[in-house]
Structure 1
Amino acid sequence: MPEIKIIDLHFKNLDHAIASYLLPTNEGPILIETGPYSTYPKLKKGVEDLGYEMKEIKHVFLTHIHLDHAGAAWALAETGANIYLHPFGAKNMEDPSRLMESATRIYGDQMDTLWGQMKQIPANQLIQVEDQQSFEFGEVQIKSLHTPGHAKHHIAWQVGDVIFTGDVAGVKIDKGPVVPPCPPPDINLEDWKASINILREAKPSALYLTHYNQITDIADHLTALENILDDWAAWIQKQMRANLTNEEMVPLFMKYTAEQLRNAGLDEPTIELYEAANPSWMSVAGLVRYWTKKES
């Protein structure tokens, strides 16, 4: 098992919001997650501080194509890397125009500062990965675990007895509680819980979250994730049945989730960090869409 190198991308100049992971191998370094292109200079510096150049990274593994996880993948492709991802995400990386148009409708004039640009990746550099598919690089083997629920194109990557979980194991920053990122359009609670069971059944010794932690108390962590996922979904469903609009729900949900974090003992700067890593309003939109589809 190689030594796992954590690169803090200092998203929005915050510590521990988004991580990339570098794995040294005797065939060169492997990168798991790129973060957005807006943090590419921090990624480059992190790689160089570990003694590598960006052009040495020939294999990049994405958990999914959301911009906070994959927005800089094209820059790694330009320096020669192959990009490993779920087949459902490949089309949007080969031609990201639709992905960027959708994100622009949500983020507007914040696109450049939050995410930066995104360019096409040639199809021959996009390696579409099936479930349980394995790749070997010298002494390191990486296996894919298709884990939908947060996104239908989500993959967790198992390396030895650890798993890099993207968003399927939630967001947990420093000593705070785990929370579920629920952006539209793919949130599916049944699929997510099945994916949580996939993580359990793999019996890892540690989970590495992109936002942002190493987890070793895995059983408690996954149970807590399921519980808060149910809690948030039930809260949204209750407001929908009271005929509240998304716009009306957002400030109420932000207050509700912030209070949960305060009750867990977090201070206001850490609550703001959680909000940066996992915006509450995105979970309103994602869970409203889930219930609308489920109950239609």
Structure 2
Amino acid sequence: MQTKNPIRLDQRIHLIDGFDFEIPNRTGAYVLDEEQLTIIEPGPSPSIKHIKKGIEQLGFSLEVVKYIIVTHVHLDHAGGAGLLLKSCPNAKIVVHPRGKRHLADPRKLAAGARAVYGDSFSDLYDPIVPIPEERLITKEDGDMLEIGEDCKLQFFNTPGHAKHHFSIYDPVSNGLFTGDTAGVRYQLLIDQGVSFFLPSTSPNQFDPNELRHSWGRFHDLQVDRIYYGHFGMTDQPKAALQQVSRWLDVFMDIAEKAYTEGLGYDKLAERLLTAIKVDLRAKGIPDDHEIYVILNVDMQICALGMVDYLQKRKEE
């Protein structure tokens, strides 16, 4: 089993690598060391062994975990919540109201992901464990959750990536856990001095207008940090949001043209990847860099979401 020590972000927040797709720096769970020990983004079920190991490395027992928060119910963020909960007898899951039913009965969610991932589904996401309704808590826009004497997390409805998505404001760090709404942070490139953020436009609730509205809310909060579901933290939130906004313009322009030409999502994915390669070449990143293992997958999924959005818009 791949493993590495939890990443210390500050004196109370650590990030545990979940090795999603068996790739480091892909997804991670945040551990908030407060009176009510809280985990944000447990990830998919194959990641849970890494999350449990990381919690133990931090010196905590699973019995002291009080809250497990999922920003949204896509399986790479929440698919392992039920499995982790089985080992955390005193914990409850916090979820967006639109996502609650999918955690209680994940069959529809699993079927949708199976349609996207096909034969790879079992390796990537099984098992998906239903969560008893009495262990589910929902939070509406603006609701609070006290996890420490000086820490009340606040929840904000932030659609655009998914309708069942909220982001969580942490007043102590003046930071925001944004799941996928703020896009994807590519640690492998940042390690080489290339700051790189892309929007996440996966199916089937992607909406660029709602995404931009959510980014406006992020801007208004004037946070000092953004914590990403994929992967890690930036302390330059304005620059990161500006970059992801620029790339959304690029993505939508490419998608509109490909859709008008009648091209499928696979050809769209190729065009997206080409635009990214041109940009990264100019920054000194070669075409055979290992980042393209991740980017190839991401662009396939992003293309599916944009085609789905354009088809729905045409049918309106």
Q: CA shift at 1:54, angstroms?
A: 2.1
Supply the AA of the counterpart residue of 1:183.
S
Q: Distance in 2 between matches of 1:292 and 1:56?
A: 47
Match of 2:5 in 1: none
In terms of mean alpha carbon deviation, does 13-22 or 146-155 score higher? 13-22
8 Å contact from structure 2 (residues 83, 127) kept in 1: no
**Cα distance per residue 1:173-212 (max 9 Å; x no partner):** 2214100111110011111001001111111111111111
Match of 1:95 in 2: 105
TM-score (norm 2): 0.88
Q: CA shift at 1:270, angstroms?
A: 4.2
Out of 55, 60, 85, the position equivalent to 1:52 is: 60
Q: Does residue 257 of structure 1 match 2:266?
A: no
Out of 140, 164, 169, the position equivalent to 1:130 is: 140
In terms of mean alpha carbon deviation, does 174-183 or 231-240 score higher? 174-183
Match of 1:191 in 2: 210
Out of 255, 272, 286, the position equivalent to 2:292 is: 272
Q: Distance in 2 between matches of 1:250 and 1:207?
A: 27
8 Å contact from structure 2 (residues 73, 79) kept in 1: yes
How do residues 1-296 of structure 1 correspond to structure 2 at under 5 angstroms?
3-27=12-36, 29-78=37-86, 79-80=88-89, 81-139=91-149, 140-160=151-171, 161-174=174-187, 175=190, 176-267=195-286, 268-272=288-292, 274-275=294-295, 279-296=298-315
8 Å contact from structure 1 (residues 169, 209) kept in 2: yes
Provide structure 2 residue ranges, at least 5 long, that are not aligned to the other structure: 1-9
Distance 1:236 1:14, change over 3 A: same
Supply the AA of the counterpart residue of 1:131.
D
The higher-RCO structure (CA 8 Å, 6+ apart) is 1
Supply the AA of the counterpart residue of 1:97.
R
Q: CA shift at 1:273, angstroms?
A: 5.1
Q: State the aligned residue count.
A: 294
In terms of mean alpha carbon deviation, does 278-287 or 32-41 score higher? 278-287
Secondary structure at the residue paired with 1:142? strand
Q: CA shift at 1:126, angstroms?
A: 1.2
Provide structure 1 residue ranges, at least 5 long, that are not aligned to the other structure: none
8 Å contact from structure 1 (residues 246, 285) kept in 2: yes
Distance 1:270 1:38, change over 3 A: same
Aligned-residue identity in percent: 28
Secondary structure at the residue paired with 2:98? helix
Q: Distance in 2 between matches of 1:88 and 1:234?
A: 30
Supply the AA of the counterpart residue of 1:108.
G
Secondary structure at the residue paired with 1:74? helix
Supply the AA of the counterpart residue of 1:19.
G
In terms of mean alpha carbon deviation, does 99-108 or 72-81 score higher? 72-81
Q: CA shift at 1:158, angstroms?
A: 0.5
Q: Distance in 2 between matches of 1:108 and 1:245?
A: 18
